[in-house]
Chains A and B, each alone.
Chain A
Amino acid sequence: MTFLPIAFDENEVFIIIGLILSFSLFFLLPKRFPLSITIVMMLLGAVIARLFDHLLSSPDLNFYNLMDTDKYELFDIIAYCLYAPFSYFFIYFFEKFHIRGVGIFLYILVWSLFGMMFEGISVIFHFFNYHGWKLAYSFGVYLITQLLTLLLYRLLMHVHQRETRTKA
């Protein structure tokens, strides 16, 4: 059993560059949320990705592989860190642009298309290697996960404001 990649090639470089760019943006953007909400939302992105990969990319039900092999590698874990800032950006720009009402529908749609575009680029760099999965299927996954992300974010903000207001 090897935990390390077979070769340090384009998919590993893709992950590293992606991490550098996304976390650079994360640290450059002015802070909008309490740290606890930032942590939970970023963790949500990574955990959702982990869950889907575990359920859809296992030996028994293998729609796609991550990285070089069908094993659970070091760079699989590092790659999950890449999903964390994306779920943060999703709620960050939701608040920054005051998306409300019908705008929420369009916002989720745009982000789902963006997610598909990013996934398409990931396939080119062999981060995802499809066996029976199609990129179009991911659209539905992104729609659902982003809706859940938004609902959870609204719940957490409501609870956070209530808790800090009663303590004040």
Chain B
Amino acid sequence: MYSLLFVYLTILYIIAFSVSGKKLNVFENLFIFMVLEFLITSFSAILYVNLQVWDITGSLELFFVYRLYEVIVLPLLYLTYFNLLAAIRGRLWKVMFTFFSIAVIYGTELLLVKGEIIAYRDWSFWQSLIVISLVLFSTYILYRWFRRVLRKEGIG
């Protein structure tokens, strides 16, 4: 039941994201999404395969939820952040929004922890905040570089 609800919410999120107006163009959204997919799956593999500081549920149903979260929900959350960030004016507001977004993204991870999909082993919440910040920062740097390439071609 939990996994079915999660699948429906994920589909609704995809639909909502697709139909909503976006500040970034197709190229930027695609680039950011792909960078995020690479980074998130890499961090995930390092945390639960290499370092084994996370235990992922043994239940097939809940494991499917985790995969959906990793591959679709989390990248879309970050992508939503970048689109909304482009719409916000004022550096202070951008910084506050960034902190808010990190909290929201961590909140979704916390939901999975409370739902016993992820179990922390030698891991603390502040480490998750650091990982989220690292992903955001690296993606932002790459995005800024790619935007310069687009600007030179007369796009955006």
Residue numbers of A with Cβ under 8 A of B are: 1, 3, 34-36, 39-40, 43-44, 46-47, 50-51, 54-55, 58-60, 70-72, 77, 80, 152, 155-156, 159-160, 163-164, 167-168
Contact = CB atoms under 8 A, between A and B. Distances in A.
A155 to B, nearest CB: 7
Contact of B41 (A36, A39, A51, A167): A51
Contact of A72 (B26, B42, B146): B42
B34 interface: yes
Nearest to B156: A163
A interface: dominant SS: helix
Interface in B62-103: 63, 67, 70-71
A72 B45 contact: yes
17 contacts: A36-B149, A40-B27, A40-B30, A43-B31, A43-B35, A47-B38, A50-B37, A51-B71, A54-B70, A54-B71, A55-B67, A55-B71, A60-B56, A72-B45, A156-B30, A159-B25, A160-B155
A34 B51 contact: no
Nearest to B45: A72
A39 B31 contact: yes
> Closest 5 interchain pairs by CB?
A72-B45, A54-B41, A47-B34, A167-B154, A163-B155
B18 interface: no
A143 to B, nearest CB: 21
B50 interface: yes
A50 B149 contact: no
B46 interface: yes
Interface residues of B, number: 31
Contacts of A51: 37, 41, 71
A47 B70 CA distance: 14
A72 B47 CA distance: 10
B26 A39 contact: no
A43 B101 CA distance: 26
